Amino acid sequence: MTSSKWIWIITGSLTIILAAFIFFHIERANDLMHRSMKIEPVLLEINNDSTALRIGKKWVTSICAECHGTDLGGHTVVEDPIIGRLYAPNLTRGKGGISYLNNNEHWLAALRHGVSVTGRPLVLMPSVEYTKMRKEDVGGIIAYLNTLPPVDRINQKSAFKPMAKFLLSLGVFGNLFSADLIDHQAPIPENRKNETLAERGAYLTEIIGCQGCHGSTFTGKYTGDPMSPKAPNITPAGNFSKWDYEDFSNLMNTGITRDGKAVNNRFMPWEAYSRLPENELKAIYTYLKSL
Ligand code: HEC
Ligand code: HEC
């Protein structure tokens, strides 16, 4: 055989091996996304009193609204020509809403176990953080979800492009299925009384998930969204040492940093945080300053 024939045979074989490799991972991602997980949610008795509804409203309108939309009627979380689309569904009883979830067990399965009522593991729903929520917060959220004003909006289909599936199977984004990372038997944390402002702040950063972007020790990291700027160091070792509470509150309420920079809500979800009560913002600030 001539050498050019050999080159054709080798490049042809390599192409076939590469195609098989890509095909294998796309199929594997399909299997991961459409598998069924049998979960027995850890149950909680839900109170519908005014305290529960007040607590629930606080969390649902701030942290859940970040992805499910300000009116909780569903919202596109990712829309990208290469990645595809990921839609956070309509949580209300309106037309197109997930009314089948009007059942506390189903809410618990989605919220604390990352599993849909059909047993499908949810993608990117931050249930790992929500397993750290205390009983009063979990109960309040569910009580309030059951009273959400109906919004008529049909859910868009989430659809990943082959490239995203390939990367998902390879684990390039980390594991996006909360359900794989959760201890499904763990009890719901008890409520706490008499905690200091800084202790309260530490709890809040955990359930809101500031660490997911700023790093487990808040010293800054790349967030996983390739378009996003690096999430900065927000301990007193960084630029944050110069910030006072006014600067912090201003960022959380208006999206403007101490240096006068407008922060894109897509990369740092301050709009959702602007709906947190002032005492909670103070707790978070106090905790960050204590680091
Ligand atoms: C970081 C974005 C994000 C946040 C914050 C978020 N969700 Fe989700 N949620 C999603 C996405 C994305 C899906 C759809 C996942 C899928 O279809 O695989 C989802 C799905 C759900 C579902 C649907 C379950 C099903 O059976 O189909 C429920 C219920 C839900 N979320 C409730 C909540 C509640 C309550 C909160 C606040 C405590 C919240 N989510 C916060 C992104 C988010
Ligand atoms: C989805 C990722 C993400 C989450 C969640 C997030 N941040 Fe950020 N944050 C960022 C990014 C990215 C920036 C930088 C934005 C820029 O430079 O435009 C930032 C900037 C900041 C800044 C400004 C610091 C400076 O020196 O300019 C503070 C303060 C801050 N975040 C606090 C928080 C707190 C507190 C939480 C949780 C309540 C939080 N962030 C949650 C991504 C995130």
User: For residue range 156-171, what is the model confidence (pLDDT) as tens digits?
Assistant: 999 999 999 999 899 8
CA of residue 226 to ligand 2 center, whole Å: 15
Nearest atom, ligand 2, residue 285 CA: 35
Nearest atom, ligand 2, residue 261 CA: 18
Q: Which residues contact 251 (CB under 8 A, 6 or more apart)?
A: 257, 258, 263, 270
In this predicted model, what pLDDT tens digit does every residue of 36-58 receive, in sequence order?
999 999 999 999 999 999 999 99
The full set of domain ranges for the chain reads: 1-190, 197-290
Q: How many CB atoms lie within 10 A of CB 4?
A: 8
pLDDT of 100 > 80? The answer is no
Ligand 1 pocket test, candidate residues 57, 67, 92, most atoms within 8 A of CB: 67
Ligand 1 site, CB within 6 A? 59, 63-64, 66-68, 77, 86, 88-89, 91, 98, 101, 110-111, 116-117, 122-126, 130, 141, 145, 158
CA of residue 279 to ligand 1 center, whole Å: 26
Q: Which residues contact 193 (CB under 8 A, 6 or more apart)?
A: none
Nearest atom, ligand 2, residue 223 CA: 2
In this predicted model, what pLDDT tens digit does every residue of 110-141 receive, in sequence order?
999 999 988 999 999 999 999 999 999 999 99
Q: Which residues contact 149 (CB under 8 A, 6 or more apart)?
A: 71, 92
What is the C-alpha to C-alpha distance for residues 18 and 271, in angstroms, rounded to an integer?
44
What fold does the segment set 197-290 form as a domain?
Answer: Cytochrome Bc1 Complex; Chain D, domain 2 (1.10.760)
For the whole model, what pTM was predicted?
0.93
Contact 231, 220 (CB under 8 A): yes
